[in-house]
Amino acid sequence: MHTTTEALITQSDRPTRRNAPRPRSRRLNSSVLFVVPALVIVGGIIYLGVGYNLWVSALDWDGISEAEFVGLDNYAQVLSEPVFWQSIVNVLIFGVATVVIQMILGLLMAIVLSGPVIGRSVYKVIMFLPVVLAPAAVATAFRQIFSPDGAFNAFLASIGLDGIASAWIADPKTALWVIIVANIWQWTGFSFILYQAAITQIDHDQLEAAQLDGAGRLRTIRSIIVPQLKGTHITLAITGVIGAFKTFDLVWLITGGGPGRSTEFLTTYIYKEAIQQFHTGYASALSIVLLVIAVIFTAIQMRVFRFGKD
């Protein structure tokens, strides 16, 4: 037997008929005009840039003087470099930690603030504010906070935990987590906003029906709200992972990839190789590898989520 809730859900899934579609030819003309500017950017700048990068990755070049064609040598070198694998590990840890924690925290706050809370709109602004801050400002602030005489250690001392106070950024075991914390602080607001918008789209009738069926708050969240936010989950997971691969400023400004190379990310590694060590060809190969990895991850995720939808 269907519960009221299930009946309502299946009903809303059925597509509704709207106006009949316009004749194809007329639709195509105006559509093309709208697409042309975006095509100019994407084709002209991005794809051309990627193509040039691909070419340079086959060269032994310092960016200034004569270049020498070396084929796949740079790629072979990439795969044999321990720093490369270290940076992959760092990005993966960073990616998983930040995406998962940001999604959980964002969802929690969105659920809490979807209820009757005094000063709700103020909290929403506060939640989203870090997202619009410049990463440079965030990085500087967190460097201060986690410095040996910074706010975090002072806080630990105030609650009697000064035994574990340490130089968080200078310790290879904890430096990555400082970067992760900074990223979570800055980007949870983004997850929050997306979840918040999606929650408002949930059919109130379903929630009422669930109440009628005797579901408690937690059961409602688990069985109705969270599954209905699937689209947002997917969006956040995909953009989160891509964002993790692209993260540069926080890493560069907080630890510079150090101590040693313990917090090296692919992006900082590329920067050092290209700009500081003048290995333009090798850095281009790294960039192509980064691109390939990002595309593979995205493809995997889209596959997984599409199967999940069935």
Partner 1 sequence: MHTTMKRRMLAVPVAALAAATLALTGCGSTDGGSGSGDGGTTTVTWWSWNPDQATAKPYIEAFEKEHPDIKIEHRFIQYSDYASTVQLGVQSGSGPDVFGTQVGALTTQFAPLAEDLAPVFEEELGGDWADLITASEQLTVDGKLVGAPWMITGGGIVWANQTIIDELGLTMPTNRDELVDFCAAVQASGRDCITQGAKDAWQNIDVFQVIANQIEPGAFYEAIDGETPFDSDTFVESFAQWKSLFDDGIFQDGALGMTAYPDASDSFRKGEAVLMINGTWENSNTTNARMKDFTEIYGEASGASIYMPYQVPALVDGADTDFLFGGPDVGFAVSASSKVKDAANTFVMWLTASEAGQNIMADRVQQPSLRSVSLNMDDVITDEQRAALESQAPLLADLIGARQIQSADVQTSLGDALSAVASGQMTPEEAAASVQKAIDAAG
Q: How far apart are CA 206 and CA 232, in angstroms?
A: 19
The correct pick among 6, 12, 40, 117 for binding partner 1 (CB under 8 A) is: 40
Beta partners for 69?
Answer: 59
The correct pick among 256, 291, 293, 294 for binding partner 1 (CB under 8 A) is: 256
Residue count at the site for partner 1 (CB under 8 A)? 38
Which residues inside 151-190 make contact with partner 1, applying CB under 8 A?
Answer: 167-172, 175
| Angle CA 298–223–229, to nearest 5 | 35
Q: Minimum distance from CB of 66 to partner 1 (Å)?
A: 9
Judged by CB under 8 A, the stretch of 51-59, 103-111, 222-230, 255-263 that binds partner 1 is: 255-263
Closest CA to 186 of 231, 145, 156, 147: 145
Closer to partner 1 by Cβ: residue 36 or 118: 36
Closer to partner 1 by Cβ: residue 31 or 223: 31
Judged by CB under 8 A, the stretch of 62-70, 126-134, 187-195, 219-227 that binds partner 1 is: 62-70
The verdict on 29 binding partner 1 (CB under 8 A) reads yes
The verdict on 63 binding partner 1 (CB under 8 A) reads yes
Per CB under 8 A, residues contacting partner 1 are 22, 26, 29-30, 33-34, 36-37, 40-41, 62-65, 143, 146-148, 167-172, 175, 254-256, 258-262, 272, 275-278
